[in-house]
Amino acid sequence: MGFDVIIIGGGINGAGIARDAALRGMRVCLLEQDDLCSATSRWCSRLIHGGLRYLEFAEFGLVRESLRERETLLRIAPHLVRPLPLLIPLRAGDRRGRATIRAGLWLYDLLSAGKSVPAHRMLDPAAALREMPGLAAAGLRGAASYHDAQATFPERLVLENLLAARAAGAAIRLHTRAERVLVEGGRVTGVVARDRRTGAGATLSAPLVVNAAGPWVDQLLGMLAGRRLRRFIGGAKGTHIVVDVLPGLGASACYAEAGADGRPFFVIPWNGMTLIGTTDIPCAGDPAAVHSDPAEIDYLLAEVGRLFPAARLSREDIRYSYVGVRPLPAAGGKDQAAITRRHAIRHHRGVARGLYSIIGGKLTTYRSLAEEVVDRLVRRLGREFASCSTAREPLPGALADPVPLAADLTARCGLEAAVATRLVGLYGSRAADVAALVGRDSGLAAPLGSGHAIAAEVVFAFEAELATTLADCLMRRTMLGLGPDLGATVLDEALGVAAGYLGWDAARRATERAGVLAETAALRLAAQS
Ligand SMILES: Cc1cc2nc3c(=O)[nH]c(=O)nc-3n(C[C@H](O)[C@H](O)[C@H](O)COP(=O)(O)OP(=O)(O)OC[C@H]3O[C@@H](n4cnc5c(N)ncnc54)[C@H](O)[C@@H]3O)c2cc1C
C-alpha cells in the first residue's frame, strides 16, 4: 500500500507529526508497536512548561519556543492543557538566591509576552506558607510564585492528535511494529510491519519515513541492514512516585532544588493525588526493560521529606510509581541536567535518503517540532500541500468553557451533575458523544465503581477512541487505571461492559483482565522497589 510518509512511533511526537502531515493533505500511515502513548510521553512530569531552568544554560530560543507552545496548547487544547501555579521556595543557603530567581522569572515573563497566565510574584515567608502551609518553615526566606501549565493526561493529548490525523485521512495502526525499514539504492522505500495481535505482516511503501521511536530511535536505525550508524540517543531514566494529596501542598505545584544534588524537583497536584519527581540517571539497553532502583525511591522520599517534613511520607504511602526514559541526544559523559532539551531532526541522507529521525524534544514543543518536520517532508516531496494549520486548528475535543456543556448534559441527557462534570473534564466537547451513547442505550448510564465514571465511556473507548484492549481502555482512554487504586474497583464492571459490547468469550475475558493486571502490577512493583 502506498503512502507519502510512514511515521514510526505513536508517542506525542509521532502523533503530532501525523496530525500535521494529514491536515496538509499528505497520505500518512502511523505505526505504533504498543498502544498509543505507551512510553515516554506518559511516563513524564506532565508539565507544559517554558523550562525556567534552561535560562541558566542560555537556551533562550528553547525557552521562547516552549513558552509560545504553552500558549498555543492552552488555546487549541484547553480541555487537556490547563494553567498550573507553581511556587519556588526560597531558603537561606540555596544555590540560587532570591535575586537570581527574581531575575530569571522576570526574563521568563518577558519571553512569554502576551501570555494568558499571570506574571510572577515574589512572596514573603508568611505569604508563602499561606499558599503552601506544609513547607518546612525553618530557614524559609519566602517564595516565588509563577505559572506554567499541566497536561494531566498526555495519553489523551496523543489520542486527540491521532483522532485528528485519522479524520484527515491518516491510517493509524496501533499494536503494529515496524520490523524493517526498506532501502533501495540509498533511498528509503517503505517499512515491513507486523500486527502484534494477529501476527500478520505487511509491506508498506512510502518515499519518506519518520523515525519517531523516542528512546528506541537507535534500535530502529539498527534495522537498516548492513549499516552501522552512530548512536544518537543517550537515554536518561526518570522515576516519579504517586501518593495521596500531600498534606500542606495546596493548589500550587512546588518546584525546588533537590538538597542532594541541586537537580530540579517537583511536587505536583495531579489527578486528585500528588505526583513527585524526578530522578535523572543515564541508562542504556532496551528502554522497555528499564526499571526504578530502590535508591531512586529513597531519593524522592528524602527530598519530599526535606521540603514537607510534617507530611512524614514513607514507602507505605506510595500508591504507585513509574519510570520513563528521556530520549536525549547522546552527549558523551556531559552532566545530565546540562544536556539540551532542544530537539534535532536528522536526515540520514548518506544511507537512506528520505529517512528522518527525531532526537530529543519535550512534550511541550511537540507541535512546533511536528511543524518543522513536516515542512521538511513537504520540501522533500516537492509537491504543493496546504500550509501548516496545527497552531490554529483546535484539537477534536477543544472546549474553552466546560460549564455550559456540563449543565446541558445534565438537563438534556439526565446525567448526574458530577458525571457530566467528569465527562466534560476528560473528553471536552466530545462528552456530548459519550452522552449520545446513553441516549442510544440508557443502561450505559450505569456507574462504574463508586466514582463518577459511567459504562458509556468503555463503549466510547472502543467505538470512537481506537482502543482494542481493556488495558487501552482503562489505562489510556478513560484514565481510570491511573486512579489511586489503579482501577481495581472498576476492573470487573468495565470488563463486563466491554465483553457484552464486543462479544468476548470467557477466554478473551481472562486475557483482557490479565492484560490490565499485568500493567498495573508493573506500576505497583516499581513503587515497592
Ligand atoms: C521522567 C521524564 C520527565 C519528563 N517531563 C517532561 C515534562 O514535564 N514536560 C515536557 O515537556 N517533557 C517532559 N519529558 C520529555 C518528554 O516526555 C519526551 O521528550 C517526549 O514524550 C518524547 O516523545 P516521543 O514521541 O518522541 O517518544 P515516546 O513517547 O517514547 O514514543 C515513541 C513510541 O515509539 C514506539 N516504537 C518504538 N519502536 C517502534 C517500532 N519498531 N515500531 C513501532 N513503534 C515503535 C514506542 O512504543 C513508543 O510508543 C520528560 C521525560 C521523562 C522521561
Q: Which tens digit of pLDDT belongs to each residue from 261-281? A: 989 999 999 999 999 999 999
Confidence of residue 94 (pLDDT cuts 50, 70, 90): confident
For residue 294, give the H/E element and its range: helix 294-307
Q: Is 238 in the pocket of ligand 1 (CB under 6 A)?
A: yes
- pLDDT above 80 for 306: yes
Q: What is the topology classification, in CATH, of domain 81-148+234-338?
A: D-Amino Acid Oxidase; Chain A, domain 2 (3.30.9)
Q: What per-residue confidence (pLDDT) applies to 338?
A: 67
Task: Please give the Cα distance from 57 to 230 (Å, whole number).
Answer: 26
What is the number of other CB atoms lying within 10 angstroms of the CB of residue 438? 22
Confidence of residue 427 (pLDDT cuts 50, 70, 90): very high
Phi, psi angle pair for 113, to nearest 5°: -55, 140
Task: Please give the Cα distance from 373 to 344 (Å, whole number).
Answer: 10
Side chain identity at 225, as an amino acid letter?
Answer: A
**Cα 496 to chain centroid, rounded:** 29
Ligand 1: residue whose CA is nearest its atom 2 = 44
CATH annotation of 5-40+155-232+340-381: 3.50.50.60
Q: What is the topology classification, in CATH, of domain 402-528?
A: Helicase, Ruva Protein; domain 3 (1.10.8)
- pLDDT above 80 for 224: no
Task: Please give the Cα distance from 79 to 259 (Å, whole number).
Answer: 35
Confidence of residue 96 (pLDDT cuts 50, 70, 90): confident
Indicate the pairing of strand 47-48 with strand 81-91: unpaired
Contact 11, 39 (CB under 8 A): yes
| Shortest-distance atom of ligand 1 to CA 363 | 11
Q: Structural domain boundaries of the chain?
A: 5-40+155-232+340-381, 81-148+234-338, 402-528
Tens of pLDDT, residues 29-61: 999 999 999 999 999 999 999 988 888 888 898
From 362, 367, 372, the mutation candidate for ligand 1 (largest count of ligand atoms within 8 A of CB) is: 362
* pTM of this structure: 0.97
Q: Is 34 in the pocket of ligand 1 (CB under 6 A)?
A: yes
Q: What per-residue confidence (pLDDT) applies to 515?
A: 98
Q: Is 168 in the pocket of ligand 1 (CB under 6 A)?
A: no
Q: What per-residue confidence (pLDDT) applies to 332?
A: 66
CA of 354 to the centre of ligand 1 (A): 22
From 82, 216, 240, 270, the mutation candidate for ligand 1 (largest count of ligand atoms within 8 A of CB) is: 216
| Shortest-distance atom of ligand 1 to CA 177 | 42
To the nearest whole number, what is the mean pLDDT of the chain?
Answer: 94
Tens of pLDDT, residues 383-416: 999 999 999 999 999 998 999 999 999 999 999 9
Burial class (CB in 10 A: 0-12, 13-18, 19+), 522: middle
Tens of pLDDT, residues 469-521: 999 999 999 999 999 999 999 999 999 999 999 999 999 999 999 999 999 99
Q: Please give the biggest Cα pair distance in the chain.
A: 69
Ligand 1: residue whose CA is nearest its atom 33 = 9
Span of 196-205, 293-302, 322-331, 451-460 with lowest mean pLDDT: 322-331
